[in-house]
Structure 1
Amino acid sequence: MVRISSQQIFSGGINRMQDINSDLVKTQQQISTGKKVNKPSDDPVAAARILKLDQNLSRVETYQRNADLANNRLKQEESALSSAIDIIQRVRELTVQAGNGSLSANDRKSISSELKERLGQLADVANTRDASGEYIFSGFQGGSPAFVKEDGAWTYNGDEGQRVLEIDDGVTVPISDHGKGIFGSAPAAVSVKETTSANGFISGLSLKNEGAFKAAFQPSLPDDLTVTVGAGNSVSVEDKDGNPMVTTPTNPVVGDSFEVAGIEMALKDAVAGETFTIGINDKQSIFSTIETLITGLDNVSKGTPKGNAEYDALISESLANLDNGQESILQKQTELGGRMNAVESTSAFLEDSALYTKEIRSQLQDVDYAEAISNLSFQSFVLQAAQQSFAQISRLSLFDRL
């Protein structure tokens, strides 16, 4: 025979009601928070998986922010380069106009004035800032303007750094390009760099045969040709190492037009012993090209064969340099397009990954309201019944039977 004391009856009843009430409170918390796992003890396995999913989602969201930042920076750079191309195209149109031999001095000055305005616009584009106020074309020196005007000429003021941003595990994308590579390192036109001649000049200097030119010179390396006037007004050409170059026709003389390595030219008014150095594969700044053109228009000296030849050479070289500068920017735009495509595809992948992660987390964490409300009603009923039963049992006494 087992004896049950009154204290055991009271303790058992209270413990039972506390357990039921605890379950009721847990269900109420699930309904109020919308989560069926509010602490690790609710479901240790699910809690561990939810924690890992939260960490993964946080990582994905960080990469999504980086991808958005990269996309915005690349779009801003692409927009700036489009503006630069428009400006260069207008400068080219003005250069073509300046090549009209019927222009007066005032006409050339008017063209020069607009070129100065366009040059300032190009500098403003090259000094574009991002939303945080940093100059996008200054490399790592974002706090300093990319181009500054020193002694009347625009010069590059940044470094050659390129910023990159990680947009996924092991996936990085460059988000900047330094202005020196875009605006200051375009291929220069073949031109006369220096001469020892007082009155002589080279006329009609131009690249006629691209294939012969590329075969004779390495496109990535600067090179020079030295044109020398010898006895009997003979003309010879040597490369930078002093090796003789083949000319067509052979053995040209002053006044004759000839071709060497795809380059056509003719020496005028030169005498024996004089030399002309022609630059090959040099680099030029678009700013310096426009500045040289402006100077030439302001100080043009025409009326003599040499003056006419120098002016024609200025126009020809300026057009070639502007075309090369524009091509350099177009190539950078193409590169930017590839980067933006990579960012877009990565962003789509991250979005899908985030959606999948949220779905898995929802299955583990989110409460089923219909089930929870049903449980709450049942638990409330059980608690109420337990309380009523305990109240009845607690009033029982052997004295009631006496």
Structure 2
Amino acid sequence: MRVSTLNLYNTSSNQLNNLQSALARTQMQLSTDRRILTPADDPVASARALEVSQSQGRNEQFATNRNSANSSLSAVEGALQNSSELLQDIQTLVVNAGNGTMLPSDREALAVELEGRLQDLFAVANTSDGNGGYLFSGYKTTTLPFTASPGGATYQGDQGVRQLQVSDSRKMPLSASGSAVFEANPTGNGVFQTKADAANKGSAIISTGSVADRGALTNKPYELNFSVSTDTPPVTTYTITDKSTGTVGPAQTYEAGKAIAFDGMSFDIKGVPAEGDKFSVAPSEKESVFTTVTKLIGDLRAPADGSSGKAALTNNLNTALNNLQQAHSNVLTVQASVGAHMKELDYLDSAGDDLGVQYAATMDDLTGLDQVKAISDFSQQQLTLQAAQMSFKTMSGLSLFNYL
């Protein structure tokens, strides 16, 4: 068979190009540590690798989101811890204010100290989130949550709770509404509240009370009215009025310290009531902690002369202490919820790390390169190319004119 010089050159050139391309491709695989350089190399594996890569990207984004959520919740937890400590300090001051030997000047000093604690509470409630917003303003992140008002504070945020997607199926709250933390505090014992009328003249003190039979609760407001006879010795009686219907119960003889129980509620009254003294028993309401402290400051500065004045102060201090305990309990509840969310983030981080390892292993199976085989192929292709180049050089040098 006769082979023309042109055909020889063309065939050899194409073969050398193919060998160089194969060598270059293997070298590229070794440099990138990837078996698939273009989708054409393995269309099925490429499509699957794209899906895994997208899932891997989402998992990494969720990890970033969890880190952001953890930072926000840590700031909220710190603010709640400060609130808890402040409320404990205020409760201690209330207990100290109940000391019967205190002079008006001593109570004034406590009132001044409470004003400082109140400002500290405002500072905590208006804590910044570090990004130009506020922790407890709900969705209105750039609005200052609380401003002082004559009765305590005005909440300017909303009830929204910001959330962030931290996994495929979980959104994590980043904060808590300031209203839920500082304003949604039940008064009294959390079910009902007892109060002494501000116009009382006697020295009677009413207790907080407790629920004796939850099934018998009516959630109605009641009023106890006291009467003192002119007999010798005088006899003190009281009637219970259902304020919702105006129904007045039968008169009952008053005994100091004896439990008064009706409609599932139980409490007692100690001391000596005067003619016309009144006490109310009503369902618990929601009261802002700022309102509670503001009232407390006013109660400490009010005159407390005589047995009636001291009794009024004691009743007010008991009411404030009960409300502060409820506020403290509410803060602890929110704090526990934040802690549970942070713990859940730890679990999600662990699961996300495991998922990341799984995705990486799958990607390696789909696109990863067998280094040993690739190096062996590279050496073989390099040797083949060199042999082809040498043979082409030899063949291209053959000519009849060399022998003439």
Please, what TM-score do these two structures have when normalized by structure 2? 0.87
Paired position in structure 2 for 1:225:
222
> Percent identity between the aligned chains?
29
Task: Tell me which residue corresponds to 1:359.
Answer: 361
2: CA distance, partners of 1:140 / 1:217: 38
Q: Deviations over 1:165-198 (max 9, x none)?
A: 2221222222221111111111112243867xx5
Matched, 1:286 2:283: no
Choose which of 319, 341, 344 in structure 2 pairs with 1:342: 344
CA contact (8 A) 1:46 1:364 kept: yes
Distance 2:222 2:4 in 1: 117
The equivalent of 2:300 in structure 1 is: 297
State the Cα distance separating 1:47 from its structure 2 match. Answer: 1.9
Give the corresponding residue for 1:236.
239
Q: State the Cα distance separating 1:268 from its structure 2 match.
A: 2.8
Check if 1:85 corresponds to 2:84: yes
Specify the alignment match of 1:262 in structure 2: 266
What aligned pairs does 1:1-400 form with structure 2 within 5 A after superposition? 2-151=1-150, 153-189=152-188, 190-192=193-195, 198=199, 200=201, 203-212=204-213, 214-217=214-217, 223-228=220-225, 235-242=238-245, 244=247, 251-252=251-252, 259-260=260-261, 261-265=265-269, 268-271=273-276, 277-298=280-301, 300-400=302-402
Cα deviation for residue 158 of structure 1 reads 1.0
Compute the displacement of 1:59 (Å): 0.9
**1:89 Cα deviation from its structure 2 partner:** 0.6
SS class of match (2:282): strand
Q: 1:263 corresponds to which letter in structure 2?
A: F
- Cα distance in 2 for partners of 1:240, 1:5 equals 120
Q: Distance in 1 between matches of 2:237 and 2:207?
A: 21
- Rate the CA distance shift 1:209–1:202 in 2: closer, same or farther, 3 A: farther
Equivalent residue of 2:153, what SS? strand
Deviation at 1:143, TM superposition (A): 0.8
User: Shift of the alpha carbon at 1:118?
Assistant: 1.2
User: Partners in 2 of 1:355 and 1:401 — Cα distance?
Assistant: 70
* DSSP 3-state at the match of 1:354: helix
Q: CA deviation at 1:19?
A: 0.4
CA-to-aligned-CA distance 1:273-321 (integer Å, 9 cap, x gap):
x8654432112211111111111112x2122332111101111111111
Tell me the distance in 2 between the aligned counterparts of 1:400 and 1:194: 132
Deviation, 1:400, is: 4.8
Please give the alpha-carbon distance, in whole angstroms, between the structure 2 residues aligned to 1:343 and 1:72. Answer: 11
Partners in 2 of 1:373 and 1:201 — Cα distance? 101
CA distance in 1, matches of 2:39, 2:290: 65
Q: Is the 8 A contact 1:254 1:268 kept in 2?
A: no
Are the equivalent residues in 2 in contact too, given 1:193–1:278 (CA < 8 A)? no
Q: Is the 8 A contact 2:210 2:267 kept in 1?
A: yes
8 A contact 1:35–1:365 mirrored in 2: yes
Tell me by how many angstroms 1:370 deviates. 3.9
Number of residue pairs matched by the alignment: 389
3-state DSSP of counterpart to 2:251: coil
- Residues 70 and 175 of structure 1 are in contact (CA less than 8 Å); yes or no, is this contact kept in structure 2? yes
Structure 1's unaligned 5+ residue stretches are: none
AA in 1 matched with 2:172? V
Q: For 2:396 and 2:256, locate their aligned partners in 1 and report how far apart those are by CA, in whole Å.
A: 129
Report the CA distance between 1:94 and its aligned residue. Answer: 0.8
* Distance in 1 separating the partners of 2:156 and 2:253: 46
Shift of 1:54: 0.8
Contact kept in structure 1, 2:185 and 2:286, CA below 8 Å: yes
SS in 2 for 1:73: helix
Q: Letter of the 2:299 partner, please give it.
A: G
* Contact in 1 for aligned 2:228/2:274 (Cα 8 Å): no
- Cα deviation for residue 381 of structure 1 reads 2.0
Q: Distance in 1 between matches of 2:227 and 2:316?
A: 27
The Cα RMSD (Å) is 2.7
Moved more, 76-85 or 237-246: 237-246
Q: Deviations over 1:86-114 (max 9, x none)?
A: 11111111111111011112211111111
Which one-letter code corresponds to 2:119 in the other structure? G
Indicate if the aligned counterparts of 2:226 and 2:274 stay in contact, CA closer than 8 A. Answer: no
Counterpart CA distance in 1 for 2:319 and 2:102 is 19
Q: 1:91 to 1:158 in 2, by over 3 A?
A: same
Any idea what SS the aligned residue of 1:35 has? coil
1:37 and 1:202 map into 2 onto residues whose CA distance is 91
Distance 1:185 1:384 in 2: 84
Question: Would you say the 8 A contact 2:202–2:307 is kept in 1?
Answer: no
Q: Distance between the aligned counterparts of 1:159 and 1:321, measured in 2?
A: 23
1:286 partner letter:
V
Kindly provide the CA deviation profile for residues 114-140 of structure 1, in whole angstroms up to 9, marking residues without a partner as x: 111111111111112223132111111
SS at match of 1:117: helix
